[in-house]
């Protein structure tokens, strides 16, 4: 087995941004992370901040290996968010790259 | 790597400031659908539109979902129908049959408007152009999604005043034919000067003969985003103001460029252009008039409005041009009345008149747009308004257009409700002095001098 098998090639990855916005409660990250683990989605980065009293979290994830469609992933995460009273969005990274990088 | 503040900014633009991609428009060449029988033309048209753009709506939905950006309209523009139907159509009724076939195709593929029921008559009219223009009132009354446009002049050719006269009458007849719906047909009919071949916005979209077999053109929007950005620079100098508009236009356009490239790749249709427009909607906060207010005029139409609009239009282009590889279409700030809540309010309180709007069209992207006028306005007066706009376009080498609605049975003080993106509007007064003798002259206004540049 190739020893570089676990090295990610960032150019081949299909990165998406998951954002969670809402009132801070216990277990938000845990719930999102267990869902992602279940779907074999690797988390590359997590940042969080508070904007105008609201909890904002951003995860950069690799959606290159998802077996179901992107739509299914986005819908599942939205529903997960509804269940815990926060808004969860999943978007492909390019929209942010294009808008903020020349 | 992207940081959280950038992500929050983008999502705020989408969720709170109405950032969206206004339209993905697939331009389709229908010249190869020409035949000598109307039935054959209709059947070829249906087949080609469904084959080329059948997946447009579903693809746009997928892109919208993946990037989290609304794509409001999915549309199709086709080769001017006066050319496609030239050998088959022997009467206006024949052209109406083509309009019905186009409408049916538009419904089948799930697009909300299909443009190109058009004639390009800037210098002269063929028999076929004339038949198509005569068929417009019935075609618009009997279809739901067809948009019609007629180009009556250009900087190179001058203004075809015979066509201008005919279009004044056609606008009135269309209003009569759709009077049960507040003359809605006129909202889908635009008279242009210097019409571009690659405009993705309705009602003036058509697929010009200089274009490839099929092409993707995308119209971006975002008046709300510009307004929000300007709120943070209140009282700042013009330099700061212009920089802010440019940066915002750049960001908006980059999203359009991304969507256009994705749509092009997934549909296997080449990318044509991005139309860098600030296209308002009746939604609160999605208004070009609100931007003008933010720049510093009390209401759209107040003194200073034309200068503010000129600056806004120019900065949008300067910021947007760098963000896209190909820019085309109309590109600039639209100033429709009924589709912009701030413009509606300005018209209602008397700040905005048709004359001031005419001045604003010298510096905006198109022209007199979505203006309701009294139903008893004579055809010659409508032709006079069209001629004035065409003259502005011809002399200034820009696209101008007239989309006015003489609302049958209504007069100044009444309000008209078109619904949806077309919005509502107060009926605005029109100058009551006539121009009948001017409009009844035959022939054309010659092209202006633009050559002696030494």
Q: Render each residue's pLDDT in chain B as its tens digit; 454 residues.
A: 889 999 999 999 999 888 999 999 999 999 999 999 999 999 999 999 999 999 999 999 999 999 999 999 999 999 999 999 999 999 999 999 999 999 999 999 999 999 999 999 999 999 999 999 999 999 999 999 999 999 999 999 999 999 999 999 999 999 999 999 999 999 999 999 999 999 999 999 999 999 999 999 999 988 999 999 999 999 999 999 999 999 999 999 999 999 999 999 999 999 999 998 898 988 888 999 999 999 999 999 999 999 999 999 999 999 999 999 899 988 889 999 999 999 999 999 999 999 999 999 999 988 999 999 999 999 999 999 999 999 999 999 999 999 999 999 999 999 999 988 889 999 999 999 999 999 999 999 999 987 676 6
Confidence (pLDDT) at B421: 81
**Segment of A54-68, A74-88, B137-151, B437-451 carrying the highest mean pLDDT:** B137-151
The CA-CA-CA angle for residues B243, B401, B346, to 5°, reads 60
Task: Report CB contact under 8 Å: A70, B65.
Answer: yes
Q: For residues B309 and B364, is the Cβ–Cβ distance under 8 A?
A: yes
Write out the residues of chain B at the interface with chain A, using a CB-CB cutoff of 8 A: 1-11, 62, 65-69, 251, 254-255, 257-258
B chain contacts of residue A70, beta-carbon cutoff 8 Å = 65-66
Q: Which of A58, A74, A94 shows the shortest C-beta gap to B258?
A: A94
Residue A8 has pLDDT above 60, yes or no: no
Confidence (pLDDT) at B300: 96
The predicted model scores a pTM of: 0.92
Q: How far is CA B7 from CA A92, B206, B254, B389, in A?
A: 11, 37, 15, 43
Question: Which residue, chain included where needed, has tokens 């048709």?
Answer: B354
Residue A9 has pLDDT above 60, yes or no: no
Task: Report CB contact under 8 Å: A60, B1.
Answer: yes
Task: Report CB contact under 8 Å: A95, B68.
Answer: yes
Domain A15-91 -> CATH class: alpha beta
Confidence (pLDDT) at A13: 67
Q: Which of A21, A71, A100 shows the shortest C-beta gap to B2?
A: A100
Confidence (pLDDT) at A5: 42
Name the 3-class secondary structure at A51.
strand
Q: For residues B140 and B185, is the Cβ–Cβ distance under 8 A?
A: yes
Confidence (pLDDT) at A50: 85
Closest to B356 in 3D by CA, of B348, B347, B345: B347
- With the CA atoms of B6, B12, B18 and B22 taken in that order, what torsion angle do they form, in degrees rounded to the nearest 10? 30
Q: Is A56 on the interface with B (CB under 8 A)?
A: yes
Q: How many angstroms separate the first and last alpha carbons of chain B? A: 53
Beta-carbon contacts of residue B192 (< 8 Å; ≥ 6 apart): B149, B150, B151, B152, B204, B367, B393, B399, B400, B401
Confidence (pLDDT) at A102: 85
Q: Is A38 on the interface with B (CB under 8 A)?
A: no
Distance from CA of B153 to the nearest CA of A (A): 38
Q: How far is CA B376 from the centre of its chain?
A: 25
Q: Is A97 on the interface with B (CB under 8 A)?
A: yes
- Backbone phi, then psi, for B45, in 5-degree steps? -60, -50
Beta-carbon contacts of residue B397 (< 8 Å; ≥ 6 apart): B155, B194, B450
Write b or e for each residue in B43-60: b if 16 or more Cβ atoms lie within 10 A of its Cβ, otherwise e. ebbbebbeebbebbbebb
Domains in chain A: boundaries: 15-91
Residue A18 has pLDDT above 60, yes or no: yes
Confidence (pLDDT) at A1: 39
Confidence (pLDDT) at A10: 47
Rg (CA), chain A: 14
ipTM comes to 0.84
Q: How far apart are CA B120 and CA B445, in angstroms?
A: 16
The secondary structure element, H or E, covering residue A44 is strand A42-51
The domain made up of B22-193 has a fold known as Anaerobic Ribonucleotide-triphosphate Reductase Large Chain (3.20.70)
């Amino acid at each position: 087995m190739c020893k570089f098998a676990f090295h990610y090639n960032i150019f081949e990855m299909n990165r998406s941004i998951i954002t969670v916005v809402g009132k801070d409660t216990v277990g938000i990250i845990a719930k999102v992370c267990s869902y992602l683990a279940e779907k074999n989605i690797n988390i590359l980065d997590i940042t969080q901040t508070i904007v105008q009293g609201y909890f904002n979290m951003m995860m950069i994830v690799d959606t290159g290996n998802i077996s179901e469609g992107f739509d299914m992933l986005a819908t599942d995460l939205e529903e997960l968010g509804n269940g815990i009273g926060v808004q969860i969005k999943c978007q492909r990274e390019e929209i942010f790259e294009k808008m903020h990088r020349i | 790597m992207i940081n959280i503040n950038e992500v929050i900014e983008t999502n705020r633009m989408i969720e709170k400031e109405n950032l969206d991609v206004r339209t993905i428009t697939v331009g389709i060449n229908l010249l190869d659908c020409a035949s000598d029988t109307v039935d054959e033309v209709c059947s070829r048209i249906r087949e080609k539109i469904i084959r080329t753009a059948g997946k447009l709506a579903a693809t746009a939905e997928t892109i919208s979902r993946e990037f989290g950006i609304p794509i409001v309209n999915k549309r199709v523009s086709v080769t001017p129908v006066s050319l496609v139907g030239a050998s088959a159509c022997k009467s206006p009724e024949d052209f109406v049959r083509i309009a019905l076939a186009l409408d049916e195709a538009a419904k089948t593929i799930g697009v909300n408007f299909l443009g190109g029921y058009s004639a390009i008559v800037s210098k002269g009219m063929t028999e076929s152009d004339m038949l198509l223009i005569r068929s417009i009132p019935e075609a618009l009354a009997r279809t739901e999604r067809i948009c019609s446009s007629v180009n009556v002049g250009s900087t190179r050719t001058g203004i075809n005043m015979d066509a201008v006269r005919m279009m004044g009458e056609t606008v009135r007849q269309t209003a009569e034919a759709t009077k049960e719906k507040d003359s809605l047909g006129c909202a889908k009919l635009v008279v242009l000067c210097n019409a571009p071949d690659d405009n993705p916005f309705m009602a003036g979209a058509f697929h010009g003969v200089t274009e490839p077999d099929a092409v993707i053109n995308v119209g971006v929007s975002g008046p709300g985003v510009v307004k929000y950005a300007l709120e943070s620079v209140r009282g700042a100098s013009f330099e700061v103001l212009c920089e802010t508009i440019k940066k915002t236009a750049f960001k908006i356009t980059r999203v359009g460029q991304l969507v256009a490239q994705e749509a092009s790749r997934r549909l296997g249709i080449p990318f044509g252009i991005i139309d860098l427009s600030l296209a308002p909607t009746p939604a609160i906060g999605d208004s070009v008039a609100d931007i003008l207010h933010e720049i510093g005029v009390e209401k759209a139409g107040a003194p200073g409005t034309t200068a503010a609009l000129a600056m806004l239009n120019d900065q949008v282009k300067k910021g947007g041009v760098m963000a896209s590889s190909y820019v085309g279409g109309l590109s600039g700030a639209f100033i429709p009345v009924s589709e912009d809540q701030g413009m509606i309010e300005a018209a209602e309180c008397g700040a905005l008149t048709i004359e001031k709007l005419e001045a604003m069209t010298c510096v905006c992207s198109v022209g007199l747009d979505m203006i309701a006028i009294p139903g008893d306005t004579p055809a010659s007066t409508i032709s006079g308004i069209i001629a004035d706009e065409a003259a502005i376009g011809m002399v200034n080498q820009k696209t101008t257009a007239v989309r006015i609605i003489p609302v049958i049975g209504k007069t100044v003080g009444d309000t008209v409700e078109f619904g949806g993106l077309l919005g509502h509007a107060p009926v605005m007064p029109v100058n009551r002095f006539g121009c009948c003798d001017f409009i009844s002259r035959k022939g054309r206004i010659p092209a202006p001098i633009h050559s002696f540049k030494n």
